[in-house]
Amino acid sequence: MKAMVMTRLCSLKDNHTPLELMDLPVPIPGEEEILLKVSACGVCHTELDEIEGRAPPRQLPVIPGHQVVGRVEAAGSRANTIKTGDRVGVAWIFSACGTCKFCLAGNENLCQSFEATGRDANGGYAQYMTVAESFAYAIPELFSDEQAAPLLCAGAIGYRSLTLTGLKDGQRLGLTGFGASGHLVLKMVKHSYPDTEVYVFARSAEERQFALELGAVWAGGATEKAPYKLDSIIDTTPAWEPVVEALANLESGGRLVINAIRKEGDKHSLLKLDYPEHLWLEKEIKSVANITRRDVKEFLNLAAEMNLKPEVQVFALEQANEALLELKKGMIRGAKVLKMD
Cis peptide before 29 (omega within 30 of 0): no
In this predicted structure, what is the pLDDT of residue 140? Answer: 96
In a domain, residue 295? The reply is: no
What's the whole-model pTM score? 0.91
In this predicted structure, what is the pLDDT of residue 290? Answer: 93
Any residues with CB less than 8 A from the CB of 132 and at least 6 apart, and which? 30, 32, 33, 34, 94, 95
Task: Report pLDDT digits (tens) over 56-95.
Answer: 999 999 999 999 999 999 999 999 999 999 999 999 999 9
In this predicted structure, what is the pLDDT of residue 276? Answer: 82
- Is there a single domain that holds both residue 269 and residue 316? no
Residue 337 or residue 222, greater confidence? 337
Contact 302, 279 (CB under 8 A): no
Q: Which amino acid is at 90?
A: V
Task: Report pLDDT digits (tens) over 157-194.
Answer: 999 999 999 999 999 999 999 988 899 999 999 999 99
Q: How confident is the model at residue 277 (pLDDT cuts 50, 70, 90)?
A: confident
In this predicted structure, what is the pLDDT of residue 27? Answer: 98
- Is there a single domain that holds both residue 122 and residue 182? no
- Is there a single domain that holds both residue 95 and residue 206? no
Any residues with CB less than 8 A from the CB of 38 and at least 6 apart, and which? 68, 69, 70, 124, 126, 127, 128, 129, 340
Contact 184, 150 (CB under 8 A): yes
In this predicted structure, what is the pLDDT of residue 158? Answer: 94
- Is there a single domain that holds both residue 135 and residue 166? no
Any residues with CB less than 8 A from the CB of 94 and at least 6 apart, and which? 66, 115, 116, 117, 120, 121, 131, 132, 135
Write the DSSP assignment of 282-326 as a string of letters: T-EEEE-----HHHHHHHHHHHHHTT----EEEEEGGGHHHHHHH
Number of domains within the chain: 2
Task: Report pLDDT digits (tens) over 286-310.
Answer: 999 999 999 999 999 999 999 998 8
Domain of 104 in residue numbering reads as 2-139+311-339
Q: How many CB atoms lie within 10 A of CB 101?
A: 9
Residue 170 belongs to domain with CATH number: 3.40.50.720
Q: How far apart are CA 254 and CA 142, in angstroms?
A: 37
Any residues with CB less than 8 A from the CB of 215 and at least 6 apart, and which? 186, 190, 198
pLDDT at 334 over 90: no
Mean pLDDT value across residues 195-200: 98
In a domain, residue 145? The reply is: no
Q: How many CB atoms lie within 10 A of CB 239?
A: 17
In a domain, residue 306? The reply is: no
In a domain, residue 151? The reply is: no
- Is there a single domain that holds both residue 59 and residue 113? yes
pLDDT at 218 over 90: yes
- Is there a single domain that holds both residue 162 and residue 94? no
- Is there a single domain that holds both residue 14 and residue 125? yes
In this predicted structure, what is the pLDDT of residue 222? Answer: 85
The beta strands (E) that lie in the chain are given as: 2-6, 19-23, 33-43, 68-75, 87-90, 93-95, 115-116, 128-132, 137-138, 172-176, 197-201, 218-220, 230-235, 250-258, 284-287, 312-316, 335-339
Q: How confident is the model at residue 7 (pLDDT cuts 50, 70, 90)?
A: very high
In a domain, residue 146? The reply is: no
pLDDT at 234 over 80: yes
Mean pLDDT value across residues 263-278: 76
- Is there a single domain that holds both residue 166 and residue 192? yes
Task: Report pLDDT digits (tens) over 133-148.
Answer: 999 999 999 999 999 9
In this predicted structure, what is the pLDDT of residue 265? Answer: 67
Q: How far apart are CA 53 and CA 116, in angstroms?
A: 15
In this predicted structure, what is the pLDDT of residue 266? Answer: 66
Among the listed residues 57, 92, 306, the one whose alpha carbon sits nearest the alpha carbon of residue 184: 306
What does pLDDT average to over the chain? 94
Task: Report pLDDT digits (tens) over 92-119.
Answer: 999 999 999 999 999 999 999 999 999 9
Contact 69, 117 (CB under 8 A): no
In a domain, residue 38? The reply is: yes
The beta strands (E) that lie in 230-302 are given as: 230-235, 250-258, 284-287
pLDDT at 238 over 90: no
In this predicted structure, what is the pLDDT of residue 280? Answer: 87
Q: How confident is the model at residue 261 (pLDDT cuts 50, 70, 90)?
A: confident
